[in-house]
Amino acid sequence: MTGALDALLALVVLIDEDMKTSLAREDLTVPRAHLLWHVHHHGPTTQRALADALRVTPRNITGLVDGLVASGHARRGPHPDDRRATLVSLTRRGATTMAAMDRAHQELARTLFADLPEGQFRAFVAGLAHVTDRVQAALAEAGG
């Protein structure tokens, strides 16, 4: 059974590599894309909310947003009701990049699963759910 686990871990490494190289082409890193993704799907967001959503410290968000502003993907704006807060939103470039990423995401899903026989696809999804459940249980038990 360790063979299946090894295959799963190898896939994890591959997907990580694939993400990193795709994102590098857009001048992005995984954490920055994650932030952009959140703003893309939730609209302009305070840095505090981003820190909670990405589960990193506020200080870290400052750094990520700095990078995204420098690369032209995001912009800081004032919060209408709270002068302490800043709202992070997408620039034209950021929006274009995210739209392309949505399309790439859908196409990747097709590439991965399109020619998998229907029954096998369903079994795979079920197995995935089972394994995810197990990992979550293990994490909870370990006190994560």
Partner DNA sequence: TATTGTTATACTCTATAACTATA
Partner DNA sequence: TATAGTTATAGAGTATAACAATA
Phi, psi of 51 (to 5 degrees): -60, -40
Q: Is 97 in the site for DNA (CB under 7 A)?
A: no
Q: What is the distance between the alpha carbons of residues 140 and 83, in angstroms, rounded to a whole number?
A: 38
Comparison of 19 and 85: residue with beta carbon closer to its own copies:
19
* Segment 105 to 144, residues that bind DNA, using CB under 7 A: none
36: left (phi over 0), alpha (psi -120 to 50) or beta: alpha
Strand order in the sheet with 86-90: 45-46, 86-90, 74-78
Taking CB under 7 A as the criterion, the residue among 41, 79, 103, 130 binding DNA is 79
* Segment 20 to 39, residues that bind its own copies, using CB under 8 A: 21-22
What is the binding site for its own copies (CB under 8 A)?
A: 1-5, 7-12, 14-18, 21-22, 105-106, 108-114, 116, 119-121, 123-132, 134-136, 138-139, 142, 144
